[in-house]
A and B are shown apart, each in its own frame.
Chain A
Amino acid sequence: MKSEIRPSRSLEKSVQITEYSEYLETINHEIAIEVERIIAEEELLGEGRAAKVFEVSVPSSSCPVCIKIWRPEILLMAQTDPLEYHKRQFHKPIEEFDLQDEIYSRRSVATPKPIAFGHIEGHVFMAMEQIKGHTLQEIIKAGAKIPSTVWDSIQLEIIKLHRECGVVHRDLHGGNIMIETDEPLVEGVIISGRVFIIDFGLSCHVVGDPTREDYELTIGNNSVRYTNDFSYLDEIKPMKPGSPFIKGTR
Chain B
Amino acid sequence: MIKLSKSTIVDAKQAIANGAPVFSTERGSLYRLSDSTGFITLRIPQTEYAQFTLAVEEDKKPKGIEVLLIENQDIKFFVFGKIEVEKGVVILNNRPVVIL
Contacts and interface: CB of A to CB of B under 8 A. Distances in A.
Interface of A: 4-8, 10-11, 14, 17, 19-20, 22-24, 26-35, 38, 56, 58, 60-61, 63-65, 94, 97, 100-102, 104-105, 113-119, 127, 129-130
Contacts of B37: 65, 115
B69 A5 contact: yes
A94 B1 CA distance: 11
B27 interface: no
A104 B53 CA distance: 34
A113 B65 contact: no
A107 B81 CA distance: 24
20 contacts: A19-B54, A29-B64, A30-B65, A31-B68, A34-B63, A38-B65, A61-B81, A63-B35, A63-B82, A102-B6, A114-B7, A115-B4, A115-B78, A116-B3, A116-B4, A116-B8, A116-B70, A116-B78, A118-B2, A118-B68
Interface residues of B, number: 37
B7 A101 contact: yes
A63 B53 contact: no
6 residue pairs, one from A and one from B, having the closest CB atoms? A30-B64, A23-B50, A34-B65, A63-B36, A31-B64, A118-B2
B2 A19 contact: no
Contacts of B46: 10-11, 14, 20
B54 A23 contact: yes
